[in-house]
Amino acid sequence: MAEASEYELEPLRDRADFTLYRGRSTRAFVRILRAMACLVLALPLALLPTFGRSQTQLANLSGTIMDPTGAVVPGVSVTIVNQGTGLKRHGLTDTGGEYRFVGLPTGTYSLRFEKAGFQSQTRDGIQLTSAA
């Protein structure tokens, strides 16, 4: 009887090739490891332009316009001119009397403030540096 049971199981062993299954799962695992390695190597390259952008040579300028009594003055015309290149930008103060110029190239600037009913003023020699 023992021979009969071994004989009946023998055809099942021939059909199930576990080494083939192990080979497939190993290849899939190696593919996953390679994909992860590519991702780990590509991620710093994808983030490189983000880090490089912080090294630009641009500056920002902001301020608040007040009258002699200390009250804020909205609607003042503010003009900024780069004395080296002639770059000119224009803006108005908001309701809080604040103005802001962003993304200006570094250099020396002059500011002009004008509003009807007020004396205009000019400030020369304003040095703007990167990240200042």
What is the reported pTM? 0.57
Q: For every one of its 132 residues, what pLDDT tens digit does the chain have, with 9 covering 90 and above? A: 455 555 555 555 555 555 555 556 677 777 888 888 777 777 676 666 655 555 568 888 999 999 889 899 999 999 999 999 999 999 999 999 999 999 899 999 999 999 998 889 999 999 988 765
Q: Which two tokens stand for residue 120?
A: 């205009």
How many whole angstroms separate alpha carbon 17 and alpha carbon 39?
34
CATH class of 58-128: mainly beta
E strand segments, the chain: 58-64, 77-82, 88-92, 98-105, 107-114, 121-128
Q: Which two tokens stand for residue 89?
A: 């930008």
Q: Is 101 helix (H, G, I), strand (E, B) or coil?
A: strand
